[in-house]
Structure 1
């Protein structure tokens, strides 16, 4: 490799978001119709998702399968964050993992606190600034008891920083597809509700802690209306479990509550 090649910046280092390519579109084209045929989800409000521009899909979180359900039922390409090790494996297993997560719109980020956490948040910002749709879970990690927990303000920071509209998402029944503590997938009926877009800019700037808190509370109230869950009234402090959502607490660090 030449010195020039070694010095070249990656798109991420240059401040650009990595956009899904052929693998995503082939994977989506195959997986989406199969998933809809097998699980026959009830989907409402798809028309609420803008066809173009910056949009955050902010959802409740009940199961690992949520990160498949949202991209496969949304009417446009959706990206989300996953830990980088899913993309760096070797051999057949590494290829399968990399191909699968790429095909469902995942973007790899490093796990960790401090700078790694900020880098993950910035990765979400770059995705939005490329006029893409970005899915996140404001609760930080999935609910193990089915209640809806208080939202962390990373979602508001992203919306206020990028000017993205927020579409609240209510998932119902996904925990029955893969119950807590199990690895297998069961065929169960699920409901996906996409709510009315929210413009959080009325709350103030991203630098204001009060604005972030008020915006997050508005988003969580909309999610609650869609999902009908019991409110926990506290943050979800459960240790991350599963796969994609293990980095969620790092993406939404405590200081951004």
Structure 2
């Protein structure tokens, strides 16, 4: 069952300065008009069958228009199934794009990932084509998921954030002045470090961070400040409290 509650001198490269890459097609993603609705339907029923209780707080903080970078904590592989149902088409009418590791875009799994909006990045050597594709998605006003901690951490602590998400957001904002990129911090918390059948989960969606407020002309310093504030927001959203799960009446999330 799912509960929904309320809460409340430029150094940036422009897109035209990033050279075109003939391999750009390998990084593109799209939303399959027939596969995505099926995936949402099956995924929703999988989640409600697997988890005991799911609590979602702060959905009123989700921007319904404009470019958004979702920046969730990463605690389990279940995160990428939970995010679309907490923030996606059933709530906002918008589909999510995921930046995933290159190994997740291989074989049969990769076939599905690409058609559900995912696109690959090599964490060790991010390509220019990936950067271009990401900026283009934001320029088109998409909702994009990037896990700022990089990997999965099960100790319920917010680990050092990678600077890439802040730099990417600042690059998109400076490439298209007035674009209005926002970063949405999200804390995903499970009752068990390794979620199993019957585990509870809470998803806390924080207030959107306006990237333009950090674009002061020094990319290194701007990214540092933005990353620090994002880390603070995630820390505030990442405290699992069992009492908040067990003392509420739960309501079903709308069908997607």
Q: Same fold (TM over 0.5)?
A: yes
Residue matched to 1:81: 99
Q: 1:51 to 1:45 in 2, by over 3 A?
A: same
Cα distance in 1 for partners of 2:132, 2:23 equals: 10
Quote how far apart the aligned CAs of 1:200 are.
2.6
Q: In the alignment, is residue 189 of structure 1 matched against residue 234 of structure 2?
A: no
Cα distance in 1 for partners of 2:74, 2:202 equals: 13
User: Runs of 4+ in structure 1 displaced over 4 angstroms?
Assistant: 9-12, 14-17, 84-88
Residue matched to 2:244: none
Residue matched to 1:59: 72
Cα distance in 2 for partners of 1:83, 1:16 equals: 11
Aligned counterpart in structure 1 of residue 182 of structure 2, from 162, 165, 168? 165
Q: 1:228 to 1:18 in 2, by over 3 A?
A: same
SS at match of 2:74: coil
Q: In the alignment, is residue 143 of structure 1 matched against residue 153 of structure 2?
A: yes
- Which whole-Å deviations, capped at 9, do the CAs of 1:137-186 have from their partners, x for residues lacking one? 111222243311122221111222223101110111176454xxxxxx53
SS at match of 2:66: coil
Q: Which runs of 5+ in 1 are unaligned?
A: 1-8, 179-184, 230-257
- Which whole-Å deviations, capped at 9, do the CAs of 1:182-228 have from their partners, x for residues lacking one? xxx53310000111111132222575200000011111111111113
Q: In the alignment, is residue 125 of structure 1 matched against residue 100 of structure 2?
A: no
Q: How many residues align?
A: 207
SS at match of 1:79: strand
Q: In the alignment, is residue 204 of structure 1 matched against residue 215 of structure 2?
A: yes
Q: Which has the higher contact order (CA 8 A, sep 6+)?
A: 2
Quote how far apart the aligned CAs of 1:37 are.
5.1
Cα distance in 1 for partners of 2:36, 2:191 equals: 23
Q: 1:169 to 1:70 in 2, by over 3 A?
A: same
Conserved? CA contact 1:203–1:215, under 8 Å: yes
After TM superposition, the structure 1 stretch with the greater mean CA deviation from structure 2, 54-63 or 31-40, is 31-40
Normalised to the residue count of structure 1, the TM-score between the two structures is 0.68
Residue matched to 2:41: 29
Q: In the alignment, is residue 222 of structure 1 matched against residue 252 of structure 2?
A: no
Quote how far apart the aligned CAs of 1:80 are.
0.8
Q: 1:170 to 1:189 in 2, by over 3 A?
A: same
Cα distance in 2 for partners of 1:206, 1:100 equals: 40
Cα distance in 2 for partners of 1:112, 1:223 equals: 22
Cα distance in 1 for partners of 2:236, 2:77 equals: 22
Cα distance in 1 for partners of 2:95, 2:199 equals: 24
Conserved? CA contact 1:28–1:103, under 8 Å: no
Cα distance in 1 for partners of 2:27, 2:133 equals: 9
Cα distance in 2 for partners of 1:19, 1:10 equals: 19
Conserved? CA contact 1:63–1:174, under 8 Å: no
Normalised to the residue count of structure 2, the TM-score between the two structures is 0.69
